A and B are shown apart, each in its own frame.
Chain A
Amino acid sequence: DQQVKQNSPSLSVQEGRISILNCDYTNSMFDYFLWYKKYPAEGPTFLISISSIKDKNEDGRFTVFLNKSAKHLSLHIVPSQPGDSAVYFCAASADTGANSKLTFGKGITLSVRP
């Protein structure tokens, strides 16, 4: 049973446009959400996070939105760049403290066309 769902396996956007990556979760105990980015032959690297007490967190070109009532979050990348092409994993935790056990989705492959 997938508690974190990334239903679209891939997304292709034009350079300069907005990329919107979606993620849904089922466990209402999740209160901390993260996005990780993964290039081929490398491990995932942390990108951005959001606590359940917020509905938006922004870091440069990256913004994560959280809709708790819908159990939905999204990652917006504006403007998209070819270097953003990677696999993006959504992850969630039920403990924002020291225990950082994360549940990951299957990932979305983003391709940014020059």
Chain B
Amino acid sequence: DAGVIQSPRHEVTEMGQEVTLRCKPISGHDYLFWYRQTMMRGLELLIYFNNNVPIDDSGMPEDRFSAKMPNASFSTLKIQPSEPRDSAVYFCASSLGAQLTFGSGTRLTVV
């Protein structure tokens, strides 16, 4: 298995632009998580899905953030409009049990 695949690896965008981050979880995993890593707050859970259904989005910082999981093999995290304070590394992770497997992350820079 190729593991959790995220794209793009790096994204630089201008403030106000829409950003879409993509994730392909490990086949057979029924949970999918989106985390954000910053120096100040460490790894924060933004939202997670079970069997493609959003279960808890209480970590999504603002309405500018949205996430979808249209099928078991694909999820997106969208920021619209983006702001400089959204700059961070965004991780997608999937699991079948108690251990998460993370992707390599997308480093987002909003200028």
Contact = CB atoms under 8 A, between A and B. Distances in A.
B42 A104 contact: yes
B4 A43 contact: yes
Interface secondary structure of B, over-half rule: strand
Interface residues of B, number: 26
Contacts of A25: none
Nearest to B4: A43
B4 A102 contact: no
A106 B31 contact: no
B42 A102 contact: no
B98 A44 contact: no
Contacts of B45: 101-104
A45 B102 contact: yes
A100 B100 contact: yes
Interface residues of A, number: 26
Interface string A69-105: 0000000000000000000010101001111111111
Interface in A17-74: 32, 34, 36, 41-46, 49
B54 to A, nearest CB: 13
Contacts of A102: 45, 100
Contacts of B31: 98-100
A36 B102 CA distance: 10
Contacts of B103: 43
A96 B98 contact: yes
B99 A34 contact: yes
A102 B43 CA distance: 10
B98 A93 contact: yes
A18 B103 CA distance: 30
B56 A101 contact: yes
B85 interface: no
Given A42-B104, A43-B4, A89 B99 contact: no
Nearest to A89: B43
B102 A44 contact: yes
10 contacts: A34-B99, A42-B105, A43-B103, A44-B102, A46-B100, A46-B101, A100-B98, A104-B35, A104-B43, A104-B44
